[in-house]
Chains A and B, each alone.
Chain A
Amino acid sequence: MASIKTILVFGNPLVKKDRLPLMLMPELRKAFPQIEFKEFDAVEDLQKEGKILYILDSVEGIDQVEVITDIDMLQVNKIYSVHDFDLAYSLKLLKKMDMVDKVVIFGVPMKIRKDQAVRQLKQKIGSILS
């Protein structure tokens, strides 16, 4: 059983493929009132959010909600500018610097119905809490 105080939510409301995590926040807040769902961006300071991180983000190549705990599984984009400082890059950097102990990413598919995503997330978050 784990206690989750905060889930950091990543996404861009103006980009269809990337906005679902943000749209799920109201329903998730209702389902888990004890958890703070906080909109977040990779260029903000992840290391200040603690050494155990719970994250909700869109993930490419999945068709149902998945839980990812291994930072090494994340692929890093080639880096040219600040725009490439994404969540994967940020988490790998924190791991290299021993600034994070555990990461749990609730990965949401880019193409999934909202009600399905909510149902699956409730189950995944609930199973970690129980």
Chain B
Amino acid sequence: MHDSLDINIEQISKTEGHADLEVKVRAGKVQDVKLKISENKRFYTQAVRNRHFVSVPQFVSRICGTCSIAHLTCSTEAVEKCLGITPSPQTELLRKLAVYGMMIRDHAMHLYFFCLPDIFKVDSVFEFDKSKDQLVKQAFAVKGAGNNLSKVVAGRAIHATYERIGSFSHIPSKEDCKVMIKELKSARDHVLDLIKIFYDCDFAFNRKTTFVALVTKDYSFLEGEIRSSDGTVIKEEDYWDHLSRVVIPYSQATGFKFKGDEFMVGALARMNLNKDSLHRNTRKDIPKYLSVFPSYNIYHNNLAQAIEILHCIDHSIQMLEENEFKEESPPAVRSRKGRGIGVIEAPRGTLYHMLELDGDGKVKYANFVIPTAQNQIKMEKDIALVIPQILDMPKHDIHHELEKVVRAYDPCLSCASHFLRIKWNRSFV
């Protein structure tokens, strides 16, 4: 048992240093926990000012290198609301498919490559023995299905090109849809295996909290009402009124409280609040796993992510089988002064974009609330509460346990720029 302990985990995310964790324990009690997100303040809300609305969704999609489709879609919705544009049913359907593709890939990568090593008690997927090769191949297949779905529907898996204000510039061909259905069906069994692994995992940290999510009738992440586990129902445009910004002096990221208290957004929140809306085939095949929810166990966030992959596959198959896509004329888009709010569910939780445009269609003011900022206060408190339970472990294991808690949240601490770093101990070609 550590009576006195200092833990400093530098660069929790990447080596460029996006988040650090400092923990101070004295006389067996946690005195201080600081989760320092160091690269969250990126001034997009300022950079977007005076840009014309046409370029805004693509511009802000660069906020994130993995869920760029979420930012693209949310921003597009904000512009459309501001300009009074109603997208066609086909456009809404294509958006659902593009977001499903992103969700499948994003969740799959986090679960297979970053969470499974914890479960198999190794540091990384590079340490998997040969017996896990099949699992890694399944990971590539599921990730590939998600990427291909986004590619077929939106042009690219990252920084998609077809999605635009009011419409899509390109529609998937019948042949593309056929190939996609086959690929999704083939990935489905792998996902059932993945769900079982996370269901069987005995990691647990339970703490009662308020969950918040956009509750959609078909669990499609894009429209509906914001609901909380305390029974609050909020219109998308009123979400900001229920949030309070919390300045965290040691963190670049602004924290948020919901109705004055810490809360959680993300897959666990969605599953707790809306599991009855999952696709019927998903509900039919995994009742045992769904019975876990509602849950306060933070590690069930990862089980919820695995289940969401299955739902995205099932609903995508249905939409691709039942629809034939046709060329459509884009709606007329005219500048007008006003304010538009887009709210969608990104992989890590509720995403909010607010844009105010002037009469020339230029952005006068913008406000974005990302999921990890909303989870930050709860994440930090969870870490503080986990520590007393693990103080009898060796320091190295304490580090690992704390990292596991952070990983369970699947945080979005960093940005999209990655530089190659080389160990220069070999000769050049």
By a beta-carbon cutoff of 8 Å, the part of chain A in contact with chain B is: 10, 12-15, 17-18, 39, 41-45, 47-48, 57-62, 66-70, 73-88, 92-93, 96-97, 99, 104-105, 107, 110
Given A41-B157, A97-B136: A83 and B65 within 8 A (CB)?
yes
- Which positions 155-171 of chain B face chain A at CB distance < 8 Å? 156-159
Closest-CB distance, B215 to chain A (whole angstroms) = 25
Write out, one digit per residue, whether chain B residues 399-429 have a CB within 8 A of any chain A CB (1) or not (0).
0000100110011111111111111111011
Closest-CB distance, A44 to chain B (whole angstroms) = 5
Q: How far is the CA of A61 from the CA of B65 in the complex (A)?
A: 23
Q: How far is the CA of A91 from the CA of B59 in the complex (A)?
A: 28
Closest-CB distance, B72 to chain A (whole angstroms) = 14
User: Which single member of A17, A43, A48, A107 contacts B417 (CB below 8 Å)?
Assistant: A17
Q: Are A75 and B423 in contact (CB under 8 A)?
A: yes
Q: Does B62 contact A (CB under 8 A)?
A: yes
Q: How far is the CA of A43 from the CA of B66 in the complex (A)?
A: 7
Residues of A with C-beta under 8 A to B126:
76, 92-93, 96
Q: Does B13 contact A (CB under 8 A)?
A: yes
Considering only CB atoms, which chain A residue lies closest to B42 in the complex?
Answer: A14
User: Which single member of A86, A97, A104 contacts B133 (CB below 8 Å)?
Assistant: A97
The stretch of B104-112, B278-286, B357-365 in contact with A is: B104-112
* Residues of B in contact with A, size category: 35 or more
Q: Are A59 and B420 in contact (CB under 8 A)?
A: yes
Q: How far is the CA of A74 from the CA of B424 in the complex (A)?
A: 9
Q: How far is the CA of A48 from the CA of B140 in the complex (A)?
A: 10
Q: Does B378 contact A (CB under 8 A)?
A: no
Closest-CB distance, A91 to chain B (whole angstroms) = 9
Known pairs A43-B158, A47-B140 / 15 extra A-B pairs, C-beta < 8 Å: A17-B417, A45-B140, A45-B148, A59-B419, A69-B429, A73-B422, A75-B423, A78-B13, A80-B413, A82-B66, A82-B410, A96-B125, A97-B140, A105-B420, A107-B420
Residues of B with C-beta under 8 A to A43:
65-66, 105, 109, 143, 147, 157-158
Q: Are B417 and A15 in contact (CB under 8 A)?
A: yes
Q: How far is the CA of A17 from the CA of B420 in the complex (A)?
A: 12
Q: How far is the CA of A61 from the CA of B420 in the complex (A)?
A: 9
Q: Are B11 and A13 in contact (CB under 8 A)?
A: no
Closest-CB distance, A8 to chain B (whole angstroms) = 13
Given A17-B419, A60-B420, A97-B137: A66 and B13 within 8 A (CB)?
no
Given A41-B159, A43-B66: A81 and B415 within 8 A (CB)?
no
Closest-CB distance, B379 to chain A (whole angstroms) = 12
Q: Which 5 A-B pairs have the closest CB atoms?
A: A86-B418, A41-B158, A15-B417, A75-B421, A18-B417
Given A41-B65, A43-B105: A68 and B422 within 8 A (CB)?
yes
Residues of B with C-beta under 8 A to A68:
420, 422, 428-429
Residues of A with C-beta under 8 A to B105:
43
Q: Does B239 contact A (CB under 8 A)?
A: no
Q: Are A80 and B157 in contact (CB under 8 A)?
A: no
Considering only CB atoms, which chain B residue lies closest to A128 in the complex?
Answer: B429
User: Which single member of B110, B147, B416, B422 contacts A81 (CB below 8 Å)?
Assistant: B110
Q: Are B114 and A77 in contact (CB under 8 A)?
A: no
Residues of B with C-beta under 8 A to A13:
62
Residues of B with C-beta under 8 A to A104:
429
Q: Are A67 and B66 in contact (CB under 8 A)?
A: no
Considering only CB atoms, which chain B residue lies closest to A40 in the complex?
Answer: B158
- A-B CB contact pairs (8 Å), 29 listed: A12-B65, A12-B415, A15-B415, A15-B417, A41-B157, A43-B157, A44-B147, A57-B420, A60-B419, A61-B422, A67-B429, A73-B426, A74-B421, A77-B418, A78-B14, A80-B114, A80-B411, A81-B114, A81-B411, A81-B413, A81-B414, A82-B66, A82-B110, A83-B416, A84-B114, A85-B109, A88-B420, A104-B429, A107-B422
Q: How far is the CA of A79 from the CA of B407 in the complex (A)?
A: 9
Closest-CB distance, A72 to chain B (whole angstroms) = 8
Given A43-B66, A74-B422: A83 and B147 within 8 A (CB)?
no
Q: How far is the CA of A18 from the CA of B414 in the complex (A)?
A: 15
Q: How far is the CA of A61 from the CA of B428 in the complex (A)?
A: 14
Residues of A with C-beta under 8 A to B147:
43-45
Q: Does B124 contact A (CB under 8 A)?
A: yes
